[in-house]
Structure 1
Amino acid sequence: MESQSRENVVECFIVVRLIVDRRFFIGASAACSCFMCASNSFSQEVAESMPSCAIMTADDQLASDKIAESEWGGNAPQNDDMGFEASYSLRKRWNPDRREIRVAFLTNPPIADHVFRAAQGWEPYMKLKFKRVNVRDGADIYARFAPGQGHYSYIGTDCRWGYANDGHTMSFGWEGSVSTTDLRRVTLHEFGHALGLVHEHHVPGSDISWNKPAVYDYYEKKYGWSKEKIDRNILNQYTRNEVRGTAYDAASIMHYPVPREHVIDPEDVVGWNSNLSQGDKILIGKMWS
């Protein structure tokens, strides 16, 4: 692995773990990061070459919940056989009868065309299409380009809240030139959030053997994160009352990288995934069947 070029590493795609338990749709918003090769030698040094990011929540959760309910009645609090019991477990799902999500770019650099085409990589696997529109015509997703400020997106219907309060719902932070692999990886990941998907390493059943002292040390020193922020972004799992989905999928485009130094069991290492996994395709198809 050490002898390979960075580009060859980026193009590598090895499944480490698969079937445990995967879920989606939560009552929170997220900012995120995107992925590379998976192997049990994937190192912290390689992970550090890519940007990391933090979960964001709507400042007014009640308002974001009302938006979710207005989009689709199924987002309302409910007590069903999957365990949705209280208001904190409101989902952020776009109406499953939708067949179109409107996308506007707040600025229009040449890279916007490439981003939109990369986002369409989700379309063959669902009965939903992205439609590019002008900002003045109104959209569901408003994307900006802000070099150096990281990549992130609100989750599902929180995009509507995000635009009303932050002026954008998705942000791309590339600086300088961007490889085709990096652009695809980041775009698919961010649009996955906008479609309603959460980070894969948080889902019930992921059971990653975190080396917590190493994780706390790394994120505190590199990003200045507090213990609470590290717990929220890296270590905590959602409960089965908060999310739904298929099986946990270490190959998912929605998975954070997990370097060797951050886990006890080397089989839990996950690299930067660059393509939609089979699990991603199945899950998005179930969401819009």
Structure 2
Amino acid sequence: MSEIHIPGLVCIDDYPDETTFCSNKNVVNSPQKEQKHQELAIANEKKWQPGQVLRIRFLDGEQQLHKIVENYAKEWLNYANLEFEFGNFADAEIRITFNGNGYSSLVGTDALKRPAPAPTMTLGEMTKATNTKLLKAVVLHEFGHAIGCVHEHSSPSVEIPWDKDKVYAYYKKLGWDKEKVDHNVLKRYTQCGINFSEHDSKSIMQYPVLEELTVGNFKIGWNTELSEIDKDFIAKVYPK
């Protein structure tokens, strides 16, 4: 099986009007002690209502690819009390394009702030021939954003020992400037507006951390499935 390197798994933080919420790459906070379980991080004010039907429209791409994405995305519904309705809805809450570069999605209800028909999720340059594991990992990750989850490596509960000089040099090769690296890689959310506890290194919302970009031997592998903590937590966020 061929190895998928981190550039194929980079998700760009996407917020309407370039606004974010309660984030600071330099802030270190302790986990909320009252929570007893490990949980992925989720933006409280960007959650949908439990039981809500989210309409999803593909703006382009192959029909066979649409079905593949739909099947992977629905895995979240085994645990979250939400419904996905795929169709050609002019005012769909979630609108997906396969044009452009990279992967991104607005977080939860931020999708309502971007007027149709502009896309709220980008699965750039994916086709039905894309590596199966890569495709599934990206779809699960981006739909995690779509239902309100934020990046696990940006959680207030984890402090990754980044070697910043190496991080900047690595992403510069991908065409990223310092500001983009700070925002998408080094940034960490503060506690306000985020529901979280201990860091879940196996979360689908955690992208790989290369050992060559950290101090010491810290690294996180490639996650391609929902973790048990992902499943447990999203079921609490959207109870049946």
The TM-score, its normalising length taken from structure 2, stands at 0.82
Give, in angstroms, the shift of residue 179 of structure 1: 2.3
Give the direction of change, closer, same or farther, for the CA distance of 1:133–1:280 in structure 2 (3 Å limit): same
Query: Given that residues 105 and 135 in structure 1 are in contact (C-alpha distance below 8 angstroms), is that contact kept between their aligned partners in structure 2?
Result: no
Structure label with greater radius of gyration: 1
Q: Secondary structure at the match of 2:95?
A: strand
CA distance in 1, matches of 2:168, 2:69: 33
Give the direction of change, closer, same or farther, for the CA distance of 1:189–1:175 in structure 2 (3 Å limit): closer
Larger proportion of strand: 2
1:59 aligns with 2:17: yes
Q: Percent identity?
A: 36
CA distance in 2, matches of 1:60, 1:211: 27
Letter paired with 2:234: I
1:287 aligns with 2:237: yes
Q: 2:196 aligns with which of 236, 241, 245?
A: 245
CA distance in 2, matches of 1:272, 1:142: 27
Larger proportion of helix: 1
Question: Which residue is equivalent to 1:276?
Answer: 226
Query: Given that residues 126 and 135 in structure 2 are in contact (C-alpha distance below 8 angstroms), is that contact kept between their aligned partners in structure 1?
Result: no
Question: Which residue is equivalent to 1:94?
Answer: 48
Give the direction of change, closer, same or farther, for the CA distance of 1:166–1:99 in structure 2 (3 Å limit): closer
Give the direction of change, closer, same or farther, for the CA distance of 1:113–1:237 in structure 2 (3 Å limit): same
Letter paired with 2:53: E
4+ residue runs over 6 A deviation: none
Report the aligned-residue RMSD: 2.5
Question: Which residue is equivalent to 2:93?
Answer: 140
Unaligned runs of 5+ in 2: 22-33, 35-42
Question: Which residue is equivalent to 1:36?
Answer: none
Give, in angstroms, the shift of residue 91 of structure 1: 2.1
Q: 1:209 aligns with which of 141, 145, 161?
A: 161
Unaligned runs of 5+ in 1: 11-45, 66-81, 83-88
Q: How many aligned residue pairs are there?
A: 218
Query: Given that residues 94 and 196 in structure 1 are in contact (C-alpha distance below 8 angstroms), is that contact kept between their aligned partners in structure 2?
Result: yes
TM-superposition CA deviations, 1:98-151 (whole Å, max 9, x none): 332211111351200110011001111122121112223x321111121x5211
Give the direction of change, closer, same or farther, for the CA distance of 1:265–1:129 in structure 2 (3 Å limit): farther
